[in-house]
Structure 1
């Protein structure tokens, strides 16, 4: 009920680790807006969401891919609509919200996922390219956040705002050194907005997703200043793990969801041992960001124009995991803590027995 322009929200104490929880709808009863919906994480999230009964509003620049995706869902009996939109333009983002309300009467979760990348050393990247990247990666999140919060405030029913950050939004890096600041900005915006809304007891759950290295066409769509083709190398997680985290947060208020232990480890190392982390990344990061093959023409990138659509995976190299155990643990923190505790206890007892024998 509204009181002096604010909302009284009944808070839950089910999870002491997450303060001021709101009650969110089950996915099967939700309308979910997803930006960057025709590729990688956004595409997988959309497919996973409709399979669980949610209605979806898909936003991206590639209208042909959007149309094909909606037809795919329609043929399976799922409900979906789309908006051709460039999230770097506020009027396009407003149109996405208007379409959701026109088609479905409301929306319950807004996922700010659209993003573009640049591979290149900081002093080599053109300023215009940096600005364009921030239009999408940062301002797109700001526009989406504002329109979602406005809607949730007006209807007075709790909703979820989910912003997709990055491993490199917690820790700076080399080569993607102009991409990282755009994600730092997303992280700062999300934390600040969350605190303001929480202080005013607004009916909005705000979650920041921290993906590690994910196997998507991210590298294929990136602007590249290197003479070698950009890739992820090393331990890489599937986009399904990020989608799982996003859709869990759509139902369960969470402050943060880390996808892959690497994302959490890098955050902790950067905080606790910053100089050591600097040197470690200077040594290890550069060769993990390009392949031993020539770069494709830079004109094919998705910075200014839509990239190809309907591809979930990229051309990355390394150990591509089938899932993220860290996401699984985050969904069941008490059980995970108990299992770890039992494991440590069993190991300790085993060592004691060996000493006594």
Structure 2
């Protein structure tokens, strides 16, 4: 971007997409500030394992100069999939990654975020800085209002702040809606020694078993950890109707065992034997397509722009969004030109991906027959 001074750029959210954008900008000598509401990098667990696709997530890592570092941490063997019969636990399909294929190597989300954080200049992320609102101004800049009552002004504000983005309302009235599917998450530590039967079921990558309105997914993470997702096609308040307090993990376990009656006992043991409690994760999506009229000085990336079901695309697209936006900001003559160029690529791409992800969720958790 040719200007007398480099623009003031703020990224709201220190997730994978926002950090990728910051890293690529800094590689090109541009300054950027990332505002994150969490108090520190390790304020909460970062979630499960991600498969990085060659044309999206890995392409973004290449642009960030981090692809070799990624491969040093990644688990190519994690691209293995086993599909089991829910009633017998017999293997219905088994996909093993080919050694000579590009593949989709797995990496823990926390490891990937750590790699990105280590790659950007110290002080780039301002922790414990929660944004409450964004206001585009008549001069083409944006005002960031923080929850502590302070405000700062930038030439560009990038909303990389996820499903419940505080930046999105500056561009769009769209709000996430419930998909009809909830994931209950639990975890297993030191699986090869403490949970060998589960380790055998899952193999080196992921295991899937599904019935009508019910699905179990178990996924290898690093350090011998397996994370399990119990998918339910139910109303969002399913636990209220069942009289279950989500904070009472034994009551949740008992109810889930009722809901998975008729399943093989080795699969029901996933409900019985977790080393952690259960975390309720209702799945929300933005409308597809989600678009907006261009507004100078503000844009979105990742889940803030195109929240979709978690079927393997979200993190990859967020990182590609970040890389594409950074490259546009470097190449185009103005902020407005850069944002228009970026949105002209990102919006059609995300619309297609959101449609595919919705179909993927229907395939992952089939509706119960009437």
Higher relative contact order (CA 8 A, sep 6+): 2
**TM bracket (short chain):** 0.3 to 0.5
TM-score, length basis structure 2: 0.35
